[in-house]
Amino acid sequence: MNNFLTALQYFLIITAELTVLFLGISAMVALVLMYVPKAKLQQWLSRRGYLGNLLGAGIGALTPFCACSTIPMTLGFLNAGAPFGPVMSFVIASPLLNPVIIAMVATLMGLKAGLIYFAVTFLGAIGFGIVLERLGGARFVKNVRIKAGCCQAAEPAVPTTFKAKLKIAWGSAWSDFRAVLAYLLVGVGIGAVIYGYIPQEMITRIAGPDNPFAIPIAAVIGIPLYIRAESAIPIGLALAQKGMSLGAVIALIIGGAGMAIPEMAMLAGIFRKRLVASFVLVIFLTAVVGGYAFNRFI
């Protein structure tokens, strides 16, 4: 009964925290994006050199789109002549630097953890975008064009008053929340079971800070596992509180969030196999570097 009450308390508290975070951050980002038209994003992403990569990663961080929105945007940028490197920085940053993920990590694991997560993923998106461009990755882009689809409905007109914009932003946040609610509840539920019933000694022995292979193993598990960040973060928090090294937790989150199966399938439609494989390697390296950085500084 004590284990059940502990698990129930974890479930209720974490669910409440994540609900408030998701709705608040999503509404704020939707409101900000109403003041930045897509034409402006296109202009920023057209910058060449390191500044273009920095802006590409920044745009990816500000746009928490689903995969079926990110990929058409990527195609649109490439077809409009945007440099390959900044576009790749955008694609890498988009799933990893979602503001909701950063807010969850900072709130549940501490502000320092959130800052390190942001620094590792942001710099990784910039650096790997530069590397992929210099290695000639642009030649592995297929000659495809955007096709109309379910996720490409006409963009609604942006209202002029702040009150109307806020109403639309809240509606968008609520819609996004309903779409991920099942994932969030599953993740919190699994985390609650781990927190209430799994012995701490077992987690520490398998994936504790004394196991140097815990981080790469967690990254390898996370990539094919594909657990959404809304599910991965509460699971990771429970594992961390049971003795799993924070680095291994972060490697699991980055691997799972960065290698979304729908996104990889859609990337395979516009990129050749070698470039898609490079993306998998990029996410794995980011997860491993991020994991060791967490163990080193936290």
Residue-wise pLDDT tens digits, 84-127: 898 899 888 888 887 878 888 888 788 898 899 999 999 999 99
Report the alpha-carbon distance of residue 169 to residue 31 in Å, rounded.
Answer: 5
At 59, is the pLDDT very low, low, confident or very high (cuts 50, 70, 90)? Answer: confident
Highest mean pLDDT of the ranges 31-35, 77-81, 95-99, 205-209: 95-99
pLDDT value, residue 153: 46
Whether residue 202 is predicted with pLDDT greater than 90 in this model: the reply is no
Domain membership of residue 90 as a residue range: 2-297
Encode pLDDT of 256-276 as tens digits.
Answer: 777 766 667 777 878 888 898
pLDDT value, residue 37: 66
182 Cβ contact list (under 8 Å, min separation 6): none
Encode pLDDT of 213-230 as tens digits.
Answer: 888 888 887 776 656 666
Mean pLDDT of all residues in 6-24: 84
Helix axis angle, 273-297 relative to 111-134, nearest 10°?
150
Contact yes or no for 98/263 (Cβ under 8 A)? no
- Of 209 and 128, the one with more pLDDT: 128
100 Cβ contact list (under 8 Å, min separation 6): 21, 22, 25, 26, 64, 229, 230
At 151, is the pLDDT very low, low, confident or very high (cuts 50, 70, 90)? Answer: very low
pLDDT value, residue 150: 42
CA atoms within 13 A on the CB side of 136: 1
Element (H, E) at 272: none
User: pTM for the full model?
Assistant: 0.75
The pLDDT > 90 percentage for the chain reads: 9
pLDDT value, residue 125: 93
Q: Which of 28-37, 143-152, 245-254 is the least confident region?
A: 143-152
Contact yes or no for 227/188 (Cβ under 8 A)? no
- Tell me the torsion sign for CA atoms 274, 101, 290, 223: negative
Report the alpha-carbon distance of residue 185 to residue 277 in Å, rounded.
Answer: 32
Report the alpha-carbon distance of residue 125 to residue 96 in Å, rounded.
Answer: 9
pLDDT value, residue 156: 57
- Of 153 and 97, the one with more pLDDT: 97
pLDDT value, residue 157: 64
5: which 2 tokens?
Answer: 């009450």
Encode pLDDT of 159-176 as tens digits.
Answer: 778 888 888 888 888 887
Mean pLDDT of the chain: 79
Number of domains present in the structure of the chain: 1
At 61, is the pLDDT very low, low, confident or very high (cuts 50, 70, 90)? Answer: confident
Whether residue 3 is predicted with pLDDT greater than 80 in this model: the reply is no
290 Cβ contact list (under 8 Å, min separation 6): 116, 117, 120, 121, 124, 247, 250, 251, 254
